[in-house]
């Protein structure tokens, strides 16, 4: 006997319900969304862009030569400093004579890694705090909501500047720490409000009448129905977090040499921008395309999860 | 008026825990995390004993953590935010530089409000047409490009190539020297305001009371002004209010790029010099301003929209 999730139960309209056998063959919330998504051109555009970025993250060596990113291996010659884009150096060279194309390809991994880890941690914290506050209400909600207010009062960039200046934990983990500590607030607010909505639904009442425990109601009934908006927020945040990493690296507080990301490349290119704009524009273009791809994907997923929103 | 007063009192009371909580959070981020705070704060200064002693005294590091925080809080209330390496008071720097940041933020705010709402309304009225698609695509691109990239490109294009605006600095005075940095600072929020205005106005224009007004034969301009805008601008005004404070805090990168001598530029150079005391002092001051402006906007909002007061 399968154990249908509430999401599956809800979408059982019209499709084979298999009542006699006790098995359920509904498509489920995510299955429905997938059918919608497949028809959306925006989804395919963003999916292709993201696939390309993932290729750079996972196997940069396929696309470019790692040696050309460092002077230690002799891949960068100072005599090649600041050359304009050419057949040999597609994106030109930077001040050290390194190939900007190779740097851009290899810079993808730190940028995207920070964003992905940040999204996972903030979503987990947001779900736990939002679900707890929304489900238990009363003083639990009052206390947690005040904590959320306090964190809401501290802008991410300003808080991150203090933390990274004081803690001196530069590099990927410093930025991840900032995102985790200060970036969970929107996720928690969202999950709290969707939880409060779901708590008053009939299916929650039904589950409680059947004697389901708090934990079961929260994770098997409320959360699956509240997860849609959280997925959208997570996807959009991924793009935003990649941009935040670039901002901290730009300020000199993020990723440090010898590791480099799109943010550090842009930061390094500042002083030579007027003379050699390609050193800044190529990593910036990759960064912007990645952020844009995740925003488009988030929009497409939201439309797929909530068909009503599309008509407005 | 009594209701407004009660609303203001309630909102003011809510402000108190947030104020203490947020300043505590800033302090906590600085000192309560693992590692030797002295070593962390004096990076790059070769741990000069005199400077270490100064840090020890400035942050009361000999006291228990909560006493440290209370003394630091006392410092905030008496305007003592610490000193730079050269002995200049951080509070003085703040007072000297804040007007520049305020001017920049307000200029950006005007661009954000006028252009964002204006183009948003235009796009909504021409839904599905060229201008609508152009503004939607344009705002998406603005949201995707990091603000510092936008800053450099604008500086290069309008400052260096075309020569329309000064490349950097504020010697040209207001408004010429402020226009370019203000537009770049406003760009991201402008995109959000545009999309929010468009969405909200489209929803309002679909509602029954607009159809009734049309059926009565009211001129389109009157319908837009008296029924459409009044009902659809509420979420936009909320966003704008909250964003005014964010603009002041968000100027770090822009002031650094355009060499505008405000708080942000000082922060930018202090970060690069490793002057942690200045960084923390200025951020604390900015966060307090951020909280105060948000409180003010909330109070104002309660006056403007009666429904808020009764919630």
CB spacing of B249 vs A157 below 8 angstroms: yes
Mean pLDDT on A19-47: 70
Cα B266 off chain centre by? 16
Q: Touching check for B207 and chain A: CB below 8 Å? A: no
Cβ-based interface (< 8 Å): residues of A facing B = 146-147, 149-151, 153-155, 157-159, 161-163, 165-168, 181, 239, 243, 246-247, 250-253, 266, 270, 273-274, 277, 280-281, 284, 287-289, 291-292, 295-296, 312
Could you give the CA distance from residue A104 to residue A52 in angstroms, rounded to a whole number? Answer: 13
Q: Which CATH number fits domain B95-304: 1.10.3720.10, 3.40.640.10, 3.20.10.10, 3.40.1170.20?
A: 1.10.3720.10
Q: Which helix (H) or strand (E) holds B231?
A: helix B230-232
B187 touching chain A per CB within 8 A: no
Query: Is B91 in the A-facing interface, judged by CB distances under 8 Å?
Result: no
Q: What range does the domain containing A111 cover?
A: 28-309
Tally of domains in chain A: 1
**Residue indicated by tokens 């991150």:** A160
Measured between CB atoms, which of B156, B206, B276 is closest to A277?
B156
In a domain, A285, yes or no: yes
Closest Cβ–Cβ partner in B22, B31, B276 for A154? B22
Q: Average pLDDT of chain B?
A: 80
How crowded is residue B217: how many other Cβ atoms within 10 Å of its Cβ?
6
Q: Where are the domains of chain B?
A: 95-304
Among A146, A288, A291, select the one facing B17 at the smallest CB separation: A146
- Find the residue in A nearest to B267 (Cα): A161
The string of pLDDT tens digits covering residues B53-63 is 777 776 666 77
Which of A307, A220, A279, A255 shows the shortest CA–CA distance to A3? A220
pLDDT at B163: 76
A20: Cβ contacts below 8 Å, ≥ 6 apart: none
Res A2 pLDDT > 60: no
- C-alpha B122/C-alpha B198 separation (Å) is 8
Mutate to test the interface with A, among B23, B29, B265, B268 (most CBs of A within 10 A): B29
Q: How far, in Å, CA of A188 to CA of A203, rounded?
A: 23
Question: Would you place residue B165 in the very low, low, confident or very high pLDDT band (cuts 50, 70, 90)?
Answer: confident
Q: Is residue A17 part of a domain?
A: no
Q: Is the peptide bond before B175 cis (omega within 30 degrees of 0)?
A: yes
- pLDDT score at A16: 38
Q: In Å, what is the CA distance from A176 to each residue of A119, A180, A248, A300, B233? A: 9, 6, 11, 27, 37
Q: How many Cα atoms occupy the beta-carbon half-sphere of A265 within 13 Å?
A: 33
Residue A1 domain-assigned (yes or no): no
| A contacts of B145 (beta carbons < 8 Å) | 284, 288, 291
User: Closest partner residue to B253 among A165, A166, A250, by Cβ?
Assistant: A250
Residue A16 in any domain: the answer is no
Give yes or no for a contact between A64 and A98, defined as CB atoms under 8 angstroms apart: no
Tokens, residue B102: 């305020």
**Nearest alpha-carbon partner for B37 in B13, B17, B65, B18:** B65
**Would you say the C-alpha torsion A267, A270, A272, A278 has a positive or negative sign?**
positive
Reference A102, options A115, A113, A89; nearest CA is A89
Residue A90 buriedness (CB in 10 A; 0-12 / 13-18 / 19+): middle
CA distance A272 to A279: 8
Q: In chain A, which residues have their Cβ closer than 8 Å to the Cβ of B256?
A: 251
Give A168's contacts in chain B (Cβ within 8 Å): 35, 39-40, 43
Report the distance separating Cα A242 and Cα A249, nearest Å.
Answer: 11
Helix (H) or strand (E) holding B88: none
The reported pLDDT for the residue numbered B147 is 83
Of the two residues B196 and B80, the one the predictor is more confident about is B196
Record: contact B18-A277, CB cut-off 8 A: no
pLDDT digits (tens, 9 = 90+) for B185-239: 888 888 888 988 888 888 888 888 888 888 988 888 888 888 888 778 877 887 8
C-beta atoms of A287 and B43 within 8 A = no
Closest C-alpha to A274, from B287, B45, B257: B257
pLDDT digit string (tens) for A260-287? 888 888 888 888 877 888 888 888 888 8
In the predicted structure, residue A121 carries a pLDDT above the cut 90: yes
CATH code of the domain containing A34: 1.10.3720.10
Euclidean distance between CA atoms A139 and A1, whole angstroms: 40
Interface residue B137 vs chain A (CB under 8 A): no
What angle do the packed helices B263-273 and B276-304 form, to 10 degrees? 150
Q: Is B44 on the interface with A (CB under 8 A)?
A: no
pTM, two decimals, is 0.79
The answer to whether the CB atoms of A166 and B40 lie below 8 A apart is yes
User: CB distance B140–A181 less than 8 Å?
Assistant: no
Chain B: closest CA distance from residue A171 (Å): 15
């Amino acid at each position: 006997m399968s154990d249908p999730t509430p999401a599956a139960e809800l979408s059982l309209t019209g499709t084979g319900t298999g009542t006699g056998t006790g098995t359920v063959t509904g498509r489920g919330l995510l299955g429905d969304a997938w059918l919608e998504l497949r028809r959306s051109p925006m989804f395919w555009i963003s999916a292709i862009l993201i696939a390309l970025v993932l290729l750079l993250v996972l196997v940069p060596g396929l696309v470019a030569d790692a040696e050309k990113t460092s002077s230690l291996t002799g891949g960068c010659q100072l005599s090649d400093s600041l050359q304009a884009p050419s057949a040999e150096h597609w994106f030109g060279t930077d001040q050290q004579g390194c190939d900007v194309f190779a740097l851009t390809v290899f810079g993808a991994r730190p940028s995207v890694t920070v964003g992905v880890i940040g999204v996972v941690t903030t979503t987990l914290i947001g779900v736990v705090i939002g679900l707890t506050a929304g489900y238990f209400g009363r003083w639990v909600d009052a206390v947690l909501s005040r904590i959320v207010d306090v964190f809401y009062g501290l802008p991410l960039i300003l808080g991150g500047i203090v933390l990274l200046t004081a803690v001196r934990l530069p590099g990927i983990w410093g930025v991840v720490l900032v995102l985790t500590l200060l970036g969970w607030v929107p996720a928690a607010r969202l999950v709290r409000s969707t939880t409060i909505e779901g708590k008053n639904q009939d299916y929650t009442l039904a589950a409680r009448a059947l004697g389901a425990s708090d934990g079961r109601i929260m994770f098997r009934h409320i959360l699956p129905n509240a997860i849609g908006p959280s997925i959208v927020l997570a996807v959009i945040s991924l793009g935003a977090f990649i941009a935040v990493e670039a901002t901290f690296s730009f300020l000199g507080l993020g990723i440090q040499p010898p590791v480099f990301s799109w943010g550090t490349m842009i930061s390094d290119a500042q002083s030579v921008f007027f003379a050699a704009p390609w050193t800044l524009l190529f990593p910036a273009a990759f960064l912007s395309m990645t952020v844009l791809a995740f925003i488009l994907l988030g929009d497409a997923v939201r439309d797929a999860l909530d068909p009503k929103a599309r008509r407005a | 008026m009594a209701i407004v007063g009660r609303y203001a009192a309630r909102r003011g009371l809510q402000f108190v825990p947030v104020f203490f909580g947020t300043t505590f959070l800033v302090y906590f981020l600085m000192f309560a995390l693992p590692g030797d705070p002295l070593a962390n704060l004096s990076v790059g200064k070769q741990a000069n004993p005199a400077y270490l002693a100064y840090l020890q005294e400035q942050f009361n590091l000999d006291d228990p953590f909560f006493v440290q925080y209370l003394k630091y809080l006392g410092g905030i209330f008496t305007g003592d935010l610490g000193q730079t390496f050269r002995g200049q008071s951080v509070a003085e720097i703040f007072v000297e530089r804040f007007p520049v940041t305020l001017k920049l933020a307000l200029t950006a705010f005007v661009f954000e409000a006028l252009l964002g709402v204006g183009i948003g309304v235009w796009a909504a009225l021409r839904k599905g047409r060229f201008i609508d698609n152009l503004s939607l695509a344009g705002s998406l691109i603005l949201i995707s490009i990091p603000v510092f990239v936008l800053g450099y490109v604008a500086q290069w294009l309008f400052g260096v190539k075309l020569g329309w605006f000064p490349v950097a600095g504020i010697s040209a005075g207001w408004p010429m020297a402020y226009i370019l940095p203000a537009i770049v600072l406003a760009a991201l929020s402008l995109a959000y305001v545009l999309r929010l205005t468009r969405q909200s106005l489209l929803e309002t224009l679909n509602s029954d009371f607009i159809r009734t007004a049309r059926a009565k034969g009211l001129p389109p301009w009157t319908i837009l002004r008296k029924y459409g805008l009044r009902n659809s601008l509420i979420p936009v005004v909320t966003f704008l209010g909250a964003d005014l404070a964010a603009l002041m805090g968000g100027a770090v990168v822009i002031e650094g790029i355009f060499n505008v001598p405000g708080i942000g530029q000082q922060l930018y150079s202090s970060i690069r010099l490793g002057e942690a005391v200045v960084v923390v002092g200025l951020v604390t001051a900015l966060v307090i301003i951020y909280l105060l402006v948000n409180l003010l906007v909330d109070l104002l909002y309660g006056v403007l929209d009666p429904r808020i007061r009764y919630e």
